[in-house]
Amino acid sequence: QVQLVESGGGLVQPGGSLRLSCAASGSIFSIDAMGWYRQAPGKQRELVAVITSGGSTNSADSVKGRFTISRDNSKNTVYLQMNSLKPEDTAVYYCNLFGRGGNRFSLPQNYWGQGTQVTVSS
């Protein structure tokens, strides 16, 4: 089993910053990519940013220039630095891992964290 534990969410004023962390543990054979998704009330879950095992990144247009994703491969941990936060960034943020749990015969699949609330409000 693969477990993802997120931390760092909270309440912040517009223009403020937060840093989310997500640590992966358990029976992990390989990680292809880790990333962050978010879901606001009444909306579908959407990609925020993703980083591959090789370090390539991609992010939503709405967060480009404000959010930065990074990764510590030695700790199986991914970070999301969020600056210049806006009220529309308010959502539950979910950590995602795409990779193989168990052993090399396992099929790659998506694993999800429990989510952390980010609220941007004055």
pLDDT tens digits along 37-89? 999 999 999 999 999 999 999 999 999 999 999 999 999 999 999 999 999 99
Residue type, 80: L
Helix (H, G, I), strand (E, B) or coil at 99: strand
Average pLDDT, the chain: 96
64, containing H or E segment: none
Q: Higher pLDDT residue, 90 or 103?
A: 90
Mean pLDDT over residues 103-122, rounded?
94
C-alpha of 53 from chain center: 14
Question: E-strand spans in the chain?
Answer: 2-7, 10-12, 18-26, 28-39, 46-52, 57-59, 67-72, 77-82, 91-101, 109-112, 116-120
As a whole-number percent, the residues of the chain with pLDDT over 90 amount to 93
In the predicted model, is pLDDT for residue 104 greater than 90? no
